[in-house]
Amino acid sequence: MSLSYRQPGVVLTDRRFTVPLDHDAPSGETIELYAREVVAGDLVDRELPWLLYLQGGPGFGANRFVGKPSWLGRALKEYRVLLLDQRGTGSSTPANRQTLPLRGGPAEQADYLAHFRADAIVRDCEAIRPRVTGGAPWTVLGQSFGGFCTVAYLSTAPEGLDTAVITGGLPSLDAHADDVYRAAYPRIERKVAAHYARYPQDVERARRIAGHLLEHEVVLPNGYRFTVEAFQSLGRVLGTGDGSHQLHHLLEDAFVPTPAGPALSDAFQEQVQALLSYAGHPLYALIHEPIYGQDARPTAWSAERVRAEFPRFDAAKALAGDGPLLFTGESVHPWMFDCDPALRPLRETADLLAARTDWPPLYDPARLAANEVPAVAAVYHDDMYVDTDHSLRTARAIRGLRTWVTDEFEHDGVRAGGPRVLDRLLAMARDEV
C-alpha cells in the first residue's frame, strides 16, 4: 500500500516496485526500487503529466527535498514528479559492505554490480513507467550521471520519453575512461588555479596540511586513513557553485596547538571525514569507472594510471619546491579502498570490476542520429566533472538536441540556479525561446 503524507506545499507518496536484477532474465532474481512521488498541494486532484528525475552519481539516492526548493518548485507547476532512488541507492535494495557479502565472495559481488549501470537503470524506468503513468511517455530530467542515463534512454527506449532534459550530463558516446581522465586533469588544474587566485592565502595553508600528512600518520575519528592523496581529493568540491568557498572555510582553521605541537583539529577532521567517507554512497566508488566501460578494454583504475601522466599533481614534488599543492577532482582510486573503512571489505570486488572486459555498449549512435524526442541540455562551460568538448560532440550526434552553453553556473546549476535552469530548458524544448 502506498503511503501519502504532506510537507509544506506538497503531497508526497512513497512508491515501491519490484524489478528483475537482470532484465534479460525476467523470471530470475528481483530487487526493489523506491521512488517518492511529489505533487503540489493545490494540484493533488489534477491529472498531470509526469516528470522523472534521475539523480547524479552514480550511487546516490534522489534528493530528499523538504517542500519544493530548487528546480522542484518549477517542475511542480505542471508535473507530478517521481524522485527515483536508482537501483542500489537510497531506499532501494542496498548494495554496500554490509549487504554485498550476501551475494557470496568478490567474484559474485562483482557480477552482481555489473547490473548497476545506466543500461539497467533505463530498463528499470521502462519497467515501472506503465505502473506510474498508465503507459504514457514521461519527461525525464537527468542531472550529471542522470544525464548519462537519459542519453542511454534515448538510445534504447525513446518511445518512453515525451521530452529529455539534461543538465551537466552529456557523456562521450565512445571515449574510454582513459580519455575521460586525460581530459579531466587539466580542467581540475584550472579549477585549482582559480581557487588560489580567489583565496591566495590557501596556497600556504594547503601546503602546510599536506606537509603534516606526509610526516604524520593521521586516522580520522571514523577510522579513515587520512593521507595526503585523500586530502588532495577534497578538490572534488571545486566543481560546484560554492565549492571554492567551502574549501576555503575548511582550510582556514585546520590546526590547533597541543602539548605535542600543532595538530589537525577535531573540528577539521570531523568535516573532512564527512566529505571523504563513502559509507553513504559506496556504489559511487565501485562503479564510477565502469560507467565509462563499453568494450573489451578494462577500465583498470584509469584515474590512478592517468594521474601519473600529470606529475604536477604529485604532492611530495610540489612540497619539495615552492609551487602550490594541486587538489584532485571527481575520481576514484584504489587507495580509497585501503583508507575508507566503508570500502575496505570491497577492495577485491573493485579490482575485479576494474579488470572486467565484457561491458556492453551503453549508447546507440545510429538511433541517436535519428532521434525524434524533443531533447535539450545545459552544458556548463569548463564543467569540472563532465568534459565540455565531449558533451558538445555528443550534442551534435543527437538529432534535434538543443544546447544551452553557459558559464553562469557550475555543474550543480540545476540546484544552485533555483527554477531558472529548468524553466529555460523546458522553454527551449517547446521552441518558446
Residue type, 154: L
| Residue 144 is among the residues annotated as catalytic for this protein | yes
Burial 123-136 (b: 16+ CB within 10 A, else e): bbbbbbbeebbeee
Distance (Å, whole) CA 135 – CA 159: 10
Q: Are 56 and 103 in contact (CB under 8 A)?
A: no
| Residue 4 is among the residues annotated as catalytic for this protein | no
The full DSSP string for 58-93 is SS-PPP--SSS-HHHHHHTTT-EEEEEE-TBSTTSS
What are 186-191's contacts with CB under 8 Å, separation 24+? 186/310, 187/329, 187/382, 187/383, 187/384, 187/387, 188/235, 188/238, 188/326, 188/327, 188/328, 188/329, 188/384, 189/310, 189/312, 189/313, 189/326, 190/382, 191/235, 191/238, 191/239, 191/329, 191/382, 191/384
Distance (Å, whole) CA 289 – CA 298: 10
Q: Are 411 and 380 in contact (CB under 8 A)?
A: yes
| Residue of 233, 340, 411, 412 with catalytic role | 411
Distance (Å, whole) CA 43 – CA 20: 34
Distance (Å, whole) CA 312 – CA 75: 44
Cell of 396: 551534435
DSSP state of 11: E
Distance (Å, whole) CA 38 – CA 12: 5
Distance (Å, whole) CA 58 – CA 284: 5
Q: What is each CA distance from 4 to 82, 143, 149, 281, in whole angstroms?
A: 13, 26, 28, 27
Write down the residue that cell numbers 585546520 correspond to: 254
Q: Among 358, 360, 367, 369, which Cα is nearest to 153's?
A: 367
| Residue of 144, 244, 277, 331 with catalytic role | 144
| Residue 24 is among the residues annotated as catalytic for this protein | no
List the beta strands (DSSP E) in 224-339.
Answer: 255-256, 263-264
Q: Are 216 and 310 in contact (CB under 8 A)?
A: no
| Residue of 24, 45, 322, 358 with catalytic role | 358
The residues assigned a catalytic role are: 144, 358, 411
